[in-house]
Structure 1
Amino acid sequence: MNLIVAAKIAWAVGVVSWWLIRRPFERKVKRERVVDARDRVREFVLLSISTLGLGITPLVWAVTKALNFANYPYSPVQFALGVLVFLFSLWLFRRTHKDLGKNWSVTLEIKDTHKLITEGVYRYVRHPMYTAFFLWALAQLILIPNWIAGPAGVIGFGTLFLFRIGREEQMMLDTFGDEYRAYSARTARLIPGVF
């Protein structure tokens, strides 16, 4: 099998796996009453930018020849590394959803029964789901040998992260106060002991 075709298949399997992981959690949280939802229009725009980078642009690369002009030489090592990073991102993505349970949401929301989760992967970082998405973006960068579709995930999700993280942390402070301050003091945002 051609290595580029293998990369396209690996990317597609990763995206479908992401959806399969998230789907059952989406169903569970729909029943939860939201008591605080912030910046709905802004959230829609940011999620659209992230989807453009992590989904639409690489999909265009995978199913058309429109971006072939930006392809570059590709190696089996690059393919293997991209797959490994994607697998780790999927594991972390699932673990994060499992640890959050009904406290999870796509947008900035606080549920009626919302709790501050500090166990599981949340013991080490405050935003492991963002870490999982950054790992997906990194996997895409490594896995897709194209100067446009490869980095599109880092740019798309990076934009969402940059314009959302401060507002999310403020919402958590508004909701949990000193408990969140203490939690923030002992955990990193994305990478344990680093950032």
Structure 2
Amino acid sequence: MVIHLNFWPTLAFAVVLLSWFAFVILFLARKKPPTAPESKRDRASIIGIVLQGFSYGIVWSVRRQWFTPIFSVSNAVEILLAILTMVLAITAVWFCSAAIRALGKQWSLAARLVEGHKLVKEGPYSVVRNPIYTGMFGMLLATGLAVSHWIGLLIAAVVFAIGTAIRVRSEEKLLREAFGREFEEYAQKVPAVIPFLI
């Protein structure tokens, strides 16, 4: 099989790949703050984690021909799609990084509360209530735009949305129990995952 390198899709793929390295390092090699004793956990969020992970598997495995745009488009649109892909990937990593820093010792893979848990509302949490999922969704879209067949990206987005809905419900149940009216007021002002929308 002969692979033809189209400049803009190839550049977008390279940026997405580098962003994935940064994304993985962000989660695996971050400096861990002192742990706090756990006070409450909701294991239902693990189902959401599995679905989100599965959605990433879909975008990487349901591929189109390498280094081509997701749709057959004009050169100008191809360049715009490539730029959108790169901006999404870089912004996604930055958003996740800022959110994890804002959470500090409260960050966890699965839904939980720690002793002395604080309701974080600053930084990216002033834009959306779940900025890590916003960043993860950005990485999913960027990856799909860089490598997936459009059907694969669509299926992956649906699976990711279901997984995210499960995790948001699980985590926000704990936050509602812990912070009551303070959380309700925050939730009324700030969307869950997509800025200015939901």
TM class by smaller structure: 0.7 to 0.9
Partners of 1:10 and 1:158 in 2: how far apart?
24
TM-score by length of 2: 0.78
**How well do the aligned residues superpose, as a CA RMSD in angstroms?**
2.8
Distance 1:148 1:191, change over 3 A: closer
Residues 7 and 79 in structure 1, CA contact (< 8 A), matched pair in contact too: yes
Partners of 1:190 and 1:44 in 2: how far apart?
18
How many residues in Structure 1 have an aligned counterpart in Structure 2? 186
TM-score by length of 1: 0.79
* Cα distance per residue 1:1-37 (max 9 Å; x no partner): 71355454333222211111223447337x3322211
* Cα distance per residue 1:105-158 (max 9 Å; x no partner): 111111123111111121232222222122222223322351344335413321
User: How much does 1:48 deviate?
Assistant: 1.9
Partners of 2:186 and 2:62 in 1: how far apart?
41
Within the alignment, does 1:13 sit opposite 2:13 as a pair?
no
Within the alignment, does 1:186 sit opposite 2:189 as a pair?
yes
The equivalent position to 1:33 in structure 2, one of 30, 37, 40, is 37
Q: Secondary structure at the match of 2:191?
A: coil
* Cα distance per residue 1:21-65 (max 9 Å; x no partner): 223447337x332221112xx4333212211212x2344357xxx
Letter of the 1:32 counterpart:
A
* Cα distance per residue 1:138-187 (max 9 Å; x no partner): 22332235134433541332121122322322210101112212222332
Q: List alignment gaps of at least 5 residues for structure 2.
A: none
Larger helix proportion of the pair: 1
* Cα distance per residue 1:70-121 (max 9 Å; x no partner): x754733322221111111111111111111111111111112311111112
Within the alignment, does 1:171 sit opposite 2:174 as a pair?
yes
Identity %: 18
Q: Secondary structure at the match of 1:52?
A: helix
Letter of the 1:44 counterpart:
I
Within the alignment, does 1:47 sit opposite 2:49 as a pair?
yes
Q: List alignment gaps of at least 5 residues for structure 1.
A: none
Distance 1:174 1:126, change over 3 A: same
Within the alignment, does 1:124 sit opposite 2:127 as a pair?
yes
The equivalent position to 1:23 in structure 2, one of 21, 24, 28, is 28
Partners of 2:86 and 2:179 in 1: how far apart?
38
Partners of 1:121 and 1:145 in 2: how far apart?
28
Question: Corresponding residue for 2:61?
Answer: 60
Partners of 1:167 and 1:13 in 2: how far apart?
32
Letter of the 2:157 counterpart:
V
Question: Corresponding residue for 2:104?
Answer: 101
Distance 1:182 1:77, change over 3 A: closer
Letter of the 2:54 counterpart:
L
Residues 92 and 135 in structure 2, CA contact (< 8 A), matched pair in contact too: yes
Partners of 1:20 and 1:5 in 2: how far apart?
23
Letter of the 2:48 counterpart:
L
Question: Corresponding residue for 2:147?
Answer: 144
